[in-house]
Structure 1
Amino acid sequence: MIVPPRRVVVDGDACPVKAEIAVAVRQCGATALLVSSHAHVLNPEPSVEVVTVDAGNQSADLYIANALRRGDILVTADYGLAALGLARGASVLTPRGKMIRESDIEGLLEQRHFSARLRRGGVRTKGPSPFTAEDRDRFQQKLTVLLKGMQEIPDI
């Protein structure tokens, strides 16, 4: 029998789906840990713990990496943090509802490195597309499936 994950750990500084996470964890009997820097004020609520770290570079990521446990669900758009989460045995979901798997992470990190090199060289790279209602719905559906303990996440 598969035991469903009971905790969602969130890179909360720029996460656009915090409300959806709070609803999903309450509905599924799970908890959430939102981690952010002092620059972002988050409010705890039932089933949602908030941890505020200093504003130092990577402070939230380091806290999250140390707090993650096997079976947690990590919500982040940061591929470096996603790689750490996968190494710790967490499932990784982006705020747009994309599952990041071991088979994806190397290519995503290479892409991130290549884009950073271009930007350092003065080339303007394209940023992410605007966040949509479809992104929000896809995230909510995939998070709920993960929290209910299904192994395979259907493409939605």
Structure 2
Amino acid sequence: MKPDIYIDADACPVRDEVFRVAERLGLTVHVVSNGSRGIRLPEVDWIRRVIVEAGADVADDWIAEHVSAQDVCVTSDIPLASRCLEKGARAISSNGRLWTTDNIGSALAGRAVAEHLRSTGATTRGPAPMQGSDKSRFLSALETECQAAIRAKASPPVALWRPIEW
């Protein structure tokens, strides 16, 4: 069984890039949104549209509930990326940044600081506009992560130690 790709789709600028990689590798893509915006999707059996009810974090909750350790999640939402990593899944942002257990803590902390500053009336800058190099970096990173997930799923875990038999 191959890994699936989950897209946090409401604000995802790289859906078409995900579809290209998934089609080439034969992966299923779950496009999760709250349905408030009409997202046009190709009508193929390997793309699954998931529409959840409107509300804060409802799509994130659905993804976090369904993603598994061999899957890949495409999201720029830092808390969702953290939840996916906790389940052992791979997470990548739309600009090609890999979310890892090494960098997610500082990203969550930075997000909390920015939220606090906004609550005091300070202006914080949002993400930088998407550049062509971001899409290229995203494609490369997604391909790498999907290939790694496929290899990890295909090969059984290797025992790093054996009990001593007397």
**2:104, 2:145 → 1: CA distance?**
19
Name the SS for the 1:10 alignment partner: strand
Alignment-mate amino acid for residue 36 of structure 1: S
Q: Over the residues paired in the alignment, what is the CA RMSD in angstroms?
A: 1.5
Instruction: Output one character per residue of 1:84-131: Cα deviation in whole Å (capped at 9) or x when no partner.
Output: 000011001000001010011111101000000000000001111110
Structure 2 match to 1:114: 113
Structure 1 match to 2:30: 33
**2:144, 2:80 → 1: CA distance?**
22
Conserved in 2, the CA contact under 8 Å of 1:44 and 1:50? Answer: no
Conserved in 2, the CA contact under 8 Å of 1:8 and 1:74? Answer: yes
How far 1:141 moved relative to its partner?
A: 1.2
How do residues 113-132 of structure 1 correspond to structure 2 at under 5 angstroms? 113-132=112-131
Structure 1 match to 2:43: 45
Runs of 4+ in 1 over 3 A off after TM superposition: none
Alignment-mate amino acid for residue 84 of structure 1: R
1:11 aligns with 2:2: no
Alignment-mate amino acid for residue 94 of structure 1: S
The count of residues paired between Structure 1 and Structure 2 equals 148
Name the SS for the 2:48 alignment partner: strand
TM-score, length of structure 2 as denominator length: 0.84
Structure 2 match to 1:93: 92
Instruction: Output one character per residue of 1:3-44: Cα deviation in whole Å (capped at 9) or x when no partner.
Output: 9x5211110010000001111100011111110012122335
5+ residue gaps, structure 2, are 152-166
Conserved in 2, the CA contact under 8 Å of 1:7 and 1:72? Answer: yes
Structure 1 match to 2:19: 22
Structure 1 match to 2:82: 83
Percent identical among aligned pairs is 30
Name the SS for the 2:29 alignment partner: strand
**1:44, 1:63 → 2: CA distance?**
22
Alignment-mate amino acid for residue 119 of structure 1: R
5+ residue gaps, structure 1, are 152-156
Alignment-mate amino acid for residue 137 of structure 2: R
